[in-house]
């Protein structure tokens, strides 16, 4: 069992050596895009919910 664990950890270390890590600029740009998209999507969902709530209240008051 310990030999399998040792082999696994050795393989993990080898794979981490092959990873192409993003530069700081790429990471900042990607994070900015994700944050902006998340905020835009939250606003869209909020407005959609507001419109549906309004329509429901109008239909139920008839």
Q: pLDDT for 9-37, tens place per residue? A: 999 999 998 999 999 999 999 999 999 99
Q: What is the largest CA-CA distance in the chain?
A: 73
Tell me the H-state helices in 1-62.
Answer: 2-18, 24-61
Structure tokens given for 21 = 């890590």
Determine the average pLDDT of the residues in 2-7.
Answer: 93
pTM to 2 decimal places = 0.65
Q: Which of 16-20, 38-42, 58-62 has the highest mean pLDDT?
A: 38-42
Residue 8 has pLDDT above 80, yes or no: yes
């Amino acid at each position: 069992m310990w030999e399998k664990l040792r082999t696994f950890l050795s393989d993990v270390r080898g794979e981490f050596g092959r990873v192409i890590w993003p530069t700081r600029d790429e990471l900042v740009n990607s994070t900015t895009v994700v944050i902006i998209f998340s905020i835009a999507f939250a606003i869209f969902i909020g407005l959609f919910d507001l419109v549906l709530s309004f329509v429901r209240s109008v239909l139920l008051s008839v």
